[in-house]
């Protein structure tokens, strides 16, 4: 694919402009966008917040928001209130918007601006990677044509079964189920094709993670109803 550098710069500028709009709301210290792999795409923060610090925060958000999906049925917004301020997280299509505010922020104005800017950010994320990502992204490992475990769960041929197995596992393991299930699928894919006939082997791997024999048997019974 030929990348037009001018277009990338425009996208980067557009993302920064969108973030500046949020920062204009009184009490907002800074804002950033990460993509759906937890990579920092763009940020408008005072220089005291270095990039490594913001990247680490973006990774934390990426790793933990999925853990709240089961109990909420999909996260719309998270608002953490701390002693020295608040952190607002707004998941969007293709990534996440993260805001750091002080205690004086006007919530109503903030949420209105956030909802408006979230749409713009979604549009930019859909259009392609921003220029900052182009510049800072670490070298990728050699490209592979194989499907990632997450893609397989989200939209693979056996995704309905996998999602059912994952949801059932959540009843036993709570929010850690997503992470554990992902690891199980990864392990399963090392020796098996992602087809329905090899799902019993995945059930074995997942059941082993549960540990407790009674719960393992309960899990097997529950998933057997839809496999």
Partner 1 sequence: MSEINLKLTTIPEVEHAVLMTKDGVAVDDTSYEADFLGAHTQFLVHFAEKLGLQLGAGELKSATVQGNEHHVFFYDSKRHYLGLTATGAGNVNALDAEIRRVLAQK
Q: Quote the least distance from Cβ 206 to partner 1, whole Å.
A: 18
Residue numbers 151-180 binding partner 1 by CB under 8 A: 174-176
The reply to whether 116 sits near partner 1 by the rule CB under 8 A is no
Q: Please answer whether residues 184 and 206 qualify as being in contact, where contact means their C-beta atoms are separated by less than 8 angstroms.
A: yes
Report in angstroms the alpha-carbon separations of 115 from 35, 60, 131.
17, 22, 23
Q: Please answer whether residues 14 and 120 qualify as being in contact, where contact means their C-beta atoms are separated by less than 8 angstroms.
A: yes
Distance CA 134, CA 138 (A): 9
Q: Among the candidate windows 9-17, 20-28, 67-75, 116-124, which touches partner 1 by CB under 8 A?
A: 67-75
Based on CB atoms, which residue is closest to partner 1, 60 or 224? 60
The reply to whether 115 sits near partner 1 by the rule CB under 8 A is no
Q: How many residues bind partner 1 (CB under 8 A)?
A: 31
Distance CA 17, CA 19 (A): 5
- Which residues are registered as beta bridge partners of 44? 31
Q: Which of 3, 24, 26, 71 binds partner 1 (CB under 8 A)?
A: 71
* Chain position carrying tokens 């937890």: 38
The reply to whether 211 sits near partner 1 by the rule CB under 8 A is no
Q: Quote the least distance from Cβ 60 to partner 1, whole Å.
A: 5
The reply to whether 46 sits near partner 1 by the rule CB under 8 A is no
Supply 151's token pair.
């893609």
Distance CA 98, CA 40 (A): 10
Q: Is 15 left (phi over 0), alpha (psi -120 to 50) or beta?
A: alpha
Q: Among the candidate windows 6-14, 52-60, 188-196, 209-217, which touches partner 1 by CB under 8 A?
A: 52-60
Q: Among the candidate windows 74-82, 115-123, 150-158, 160-168, which touches partner 1 by CB under 8 A?
A: 74-82
The reply to whether 213 sits near partner 1 by the rule CB under 8 A is no
Residue numbers 94-113 binding partner 1 by CB under 8 A: 100, 107
The reply to whether 215 sits near partner 1 by the rule CB under 8 A is no
Residue 218 burial (10 A CB sphere; 0-12, 13-18, 19+) = middle
Question: Which stretches of the chain bind partner 1, using CB under 8 A?
Answer: 49, 53, 56-57, 60-61, 64, 67-68, 71-87, 100, 107, 174-176
């Amino acid at each position: 694919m030929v990348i037009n550098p001018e277009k990338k710069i425009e996208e980067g500028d557009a993302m920064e402009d969108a973030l500046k709009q949020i920062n204009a709301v009184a009490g907002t210290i800074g804002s950033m966008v990460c993509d759906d792999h937890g990579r920092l795409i763009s940020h408008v923060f005072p220089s005291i917040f270095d990039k490594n610090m913001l990247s680490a925060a973006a990774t934390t958000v990426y790793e933990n928001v999925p853990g709240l999906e089961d109990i909420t049925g999909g996260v719309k917004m998270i608002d953490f209130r701390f002693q020295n301020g608040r952190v607002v997280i707004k998941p969007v299509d293709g990534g996440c918007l993260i805001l750091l505010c002080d205690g004086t922020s006007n919530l109503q104005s903030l949420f209105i601006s956030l909802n408006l800017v979230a749409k713009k950010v979604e549009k930019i994320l859909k259009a392609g990677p921003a220029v900052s990502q182009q510049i800072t992204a670490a070298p990728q490992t050699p490209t592979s044509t194989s499907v990632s475990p997450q893609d397989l769960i989200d939209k693979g041929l056996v995704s309905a079964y996998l999602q059912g197995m994952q949801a059932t596992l959540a009843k036993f393991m709570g929010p850690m189920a997503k992470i554990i299930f992902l690891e199980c699928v990864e392990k399963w894919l090392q020796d098996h094709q992602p087809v329905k006939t090899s799902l019993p082997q995945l059930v074995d791997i997942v059941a082993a993670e549960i540990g407790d024999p009674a719960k393992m048997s309960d899990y097997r019974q529950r998933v057997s109803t839809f496999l």
